[in-house]
Amino acid sequence: MAVAGLDAGVVMQNADLYYFTGTLQSGLLYIPAAGEPVYLVRRDAARARRESCLSRIITFGSFRELSGILQDFGLPPGRRIGLELDVLPVALYRQLDAALGNPHIQDVSPLIRRTRAIKSAWELQQMRRAAIGLDEVWRLALHLACEGLTDLELAVALEGRARSLGHPGYARMRAFNGEVAMGMVLIGDNGAVPSFRNTPLGGVGLHPAIGFGPSGKPLTAGVPVTVDLIGYGAGYYADQTRTFALGHLDKKLCRAYDAMCQIQALLVETARPGATWGCLYDECCRLATDLGYAEHFMGTVGNQVSFIGHGIGLEIDEYPFIARNMHDQRLEENMTFAFEPKAVFPGLGAVGIENTFVVTRDGLESLTLSDESLRIL
């Protein structure tokens, strides 16, 4: 906090709270520039004390109590306070502003996100666990695939296996209106239908109220099937996409899949600590264009997303982003991100690959394990 010129930071968002406290109880964490943090818990303080290693955990019921509680701990009201302005609702912002005596408010989210982007050995261990589960689920997909099976039926079976391995059934996303399931199974032309989400693939979904994902489409020979799933290990996620088809697949789509693998190979060859996120994005887009896929890369024309990779950990949209215009940000050792080059063809579907990587001293290591070949079953 001191480096950012702040007297203190206030953390309220779930993933941030868990990261700094080790528990997920409703309340706020006050992190002073000097001294121990104070965790003010609405519910459940007893559970917070069991699960967290913090020593200053106290029950509170109203923001009106905040100033007095901080003074009891010898923490005078700061004049420069950091709040998570990317996620904090305006109503809560106003309450906090008043409770803290109308200090100068600064966005602390970039500092938090940069801190969380560098994974510890323990965090990487959980992501490896998530990747092992993904491999088991992918193998099940290949075992179950048959004509007539719908995308929904296959998704239900895969999600059920993931739940049996400890998956909570959802993934966390920081972005506003960022709705995420456990992943998607998209068959044929449904894979080329864009959705409201900022993702290269969407799908029709089962109803306009959902608007993405499986649609009940049956599996037939000769169509691409993308299996994009999010694995889980003790709060942390890994992301993986694989593609298969029954019987045969149009050579046009096979060539596109090979091109997506070439783009991934370029990333692995060039990504190192110090590489800028934006330059990696530019190089990969340039290769996609050179290979003839400018109008298909990362979505259909008019719906193409401006990223190829997204950080992942406690949330699936963390730092770093392999994305347009991110030329002032650099990769650092132990950052983790999912990289998902995909090609989308209206009327035909989508093909692509996705792996979760950790940045090492020498380059990238893939945490995801499944065979990367385009499977023709």
Pairing state of beta strands 225-233 and 236-245? Answer: antiparallel
Residue 140 lies inside a defined structural domain of this protein? yes
Q: Is the pLDDT of residue 185 over 80?
A: yes
Question: Pick from 69, 101, 116: which residue ends a domain?
Answer: 116
CB atoms within 10 A of CB 376: 13
pLDDT tens sequence across 128-148: 999 999 999 999 999 999 999
Question: Pick from 94, 116, 138: which residue ends a domain?
Answer: 116
Same domain for 327 and 194, yes or no, is yes
Q: Which amino acid is at 184?
A: M
Q: Return the pLDDT at 225.
A: 98
To which H or E segment does residue 345 belong?
strand 342-345
Residue 99's domain comprises: 8-116
Q: Which CATH number characterizes residue 189's domain?
A: 3.90.230.10
Which among 291, 376, 377 is positioned nearest to 341, based on CA atoms? 291
Residue 324 · residue 281 · CB < 8 Å? yes
Say which residues have a Cβ less than 8 Å from residue 273's Cβ, sequence separation at least 6: 330, 331, 332, 333, 359, 361
Judged on CB neighbours under 10 Å (0-12, 13-18, 19+), 315 is buried
DSSP 213-258: S--SPBP-TB--EEEEEEEEETTEEEEEEEEEESS-B-HHHHHHHH
Same domain for 84 and 124, yes or no, is no
Q: Is the pLDDT of residue 77 over 80?
A: no
Q: Return the pLDDT at 198.
A: 86
Q: What is the dihedral of CA 190, 193, 196, 198, to 10 degrees?
A: 100
Q: Return the pLDDT at 78.
A: 83
Angle between helices 109-117 and 14-21 (to 10 degrees): 60
What is the mean pLDDT of the segment spanning 143-169?
97
User: In the block, which residue shows the tokens 């994305």?
Assistant: 323
Q: Return the pLDDT at 181.
A: 85
Pairing state of beta strands 336-339 and 57-59? Answer: unpaired
Q: Return the pLDDT at 310.
A: 98
pTM above threshold 0.85: yes
What is the mean pLDDT of the segment spanning 103-131?
98
Same domain for 128 and 92, yes or no, is no
Compare 75 and 11 and report the one with higher pLDDT: 11
